[in-house]
């Protein structure tokens, strides 16, 4: 049978060839990875921007909810003030009518009753 023999220079050349191939392949893989990372960079930036926008929207939603609560409370206070003003003005009108003609006791009694009910309910 034929025996294959290598001379030392052939063995060194083969080893250097394998090392060169490994270095070339690893450099090519590095270039490919850099190209892929560069291609994905806009996507990552966009994802980061979207995450920041979502966080800001959540903060804005919380702020809006807080202000809606404030507006609801203020609306309830204004309604209570309007009711109070209406009853007070009715009582003042009854006093004015009574002081003008002295006979309008029924409206005074009604105003007293509504003012009394309002103050009791409050």
Residue 51: domain span? 39-121
Rounded Cα distance, 78 and 66, in Å: 18
Residues of the chain with pLDDT under 70: 1-2
User: Is residue 92 one of the residues assigned to a domain?
Assistant: yes
Q: What is the pLDDT of residue 2?
A: 67
User: Is residue 85 one of the residues assigned to a domain?
Assistant: yes
**Residue 40: both structure tokens together:** 């994905």
**Residue 42: both structure tokens together:** 């806009």
User: Is residue 7 one of the residues assigned to a domain?
Assistant: no
The count of structural domains within the chain is 1
Q: What is the pLDDT of residue 87?
A: 85
User: Is residue 50 one of the residues assigned to a domain?
Assistant: yes
Phi-psi region of 119 (alpha: psi -120 to 50; beta: other; left: phi over 0): alpha
Helix (H, G, I), strand (E, B) or coil at 75: helix
User: Is residue 86 one of the residues assigned to a domain?
Assistant: yes
User: Is residue 49 one of the residues assigned to a domain?
Assistant: yes
pTM: 0.50
User: Is residue 115 one of the residues assigned to a domain?
Assistant: yes
User: Is residue 32 one of the residues assigned to a domain?
Assistant: no
Q: What is the pLDDT of residue 16?
A: 92
For the CA atoms of the chain, what is the radius of gyration? 45
């Amino acid at each position: 049978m034929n025996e294959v023999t290598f001379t030392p220079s052939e063995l060194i050349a083969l080893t250097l060839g394998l090392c060169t191939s490994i270095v070339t392949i690893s450099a090519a893989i590095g270039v490919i990875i850099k190209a892929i990372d560069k291609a994905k960079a806009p996507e990552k930036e966009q994802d980061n921007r979207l995450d920041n926008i979502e966080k800001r929207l959540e903060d804005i939603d919380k702020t809006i909810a807080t202000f809606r609560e404030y507006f609801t409370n203020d609306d309830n206070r204004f309604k209570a003030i309007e009711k109070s003003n209406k009853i007070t003005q009715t009582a003042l009108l009854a006093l004015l009518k009574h002081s003008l003609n002295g006979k309008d006791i029924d409206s005074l009694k009604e105003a007293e009753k509504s003012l009394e009910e309002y103050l009791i309910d409050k």
